[in-house]
Amino acid sequence: MRPYESFIGQPIRSLQTMLRVIAQDDNSYQTLIPDGIYGPETTAAVSIFQRKHGLPITGVTDLATWELIVSVYTLALVRVGAAQPIHAQMNPGQVIRKGERNANLNLAHAMLTILSEVYKSVAQPGQAGLMDEATADSIASFQGLSGLPMTGNLDKNTWQHLALQYPLAANLHCNLPK
């Protein structure tokens, strides 16, 4: 998806892009290729939208049609777009050691659980939110797999490697036989 700024001053292309996203969300709409030309394909797509939403079927994008398209597009964009990523960060110099509790350990635990199921050399973590012995062992085995010093502590460098490895492992995990 192109950045919002690239559509400023291009209302027809913006309209076509919104109708395209709506069609990706609901295949009963006509799919458009945003070309910036209000031609027969755009007229047909607008007419279909108007028919489905009880508006006068003119094929012309009046204010009422535009506002409803924007509203439907906003909802469709959430459903067809990628989920919002979480950007959890560790404080500079922060190290979570055995016996400590930390909210980031909940996320690390979830990532380590998937990593341990995909990469059998990573130990299964322990209790979420607590750096217990099992979680420290899991982190140490992950560190070894990643070529990091096997401290068993969760530091910024280990966090970075977890964040980089997790997406691949999560996709592989989805395809593992049950």
> pTM score, two decimals?
0.57
What is the average per-residue pLDDT within 156-173? 87
Angle between helices 40-52 and 63-80 (to 10 degrees): 90
Mean pLDDT of all residues belonging to the chain: 89
**d(Cα 176, Cα 140) in Å, to the nearest integer?**
24
Q: Does domain 95-174 have CATH number 3.30.450?
A: no
What is the average per-residue pLDDT within 86-107? 88
Domain locations in the chain as residue ranges? 4-80, 95-174
Instruction: Inform me whether the pLDDT recorded for 144 exceeds 60.
Output: yes
pLDDT tens digits along 13-49: 999 999 999 999 999 998 999 999 999 999 999 999 9
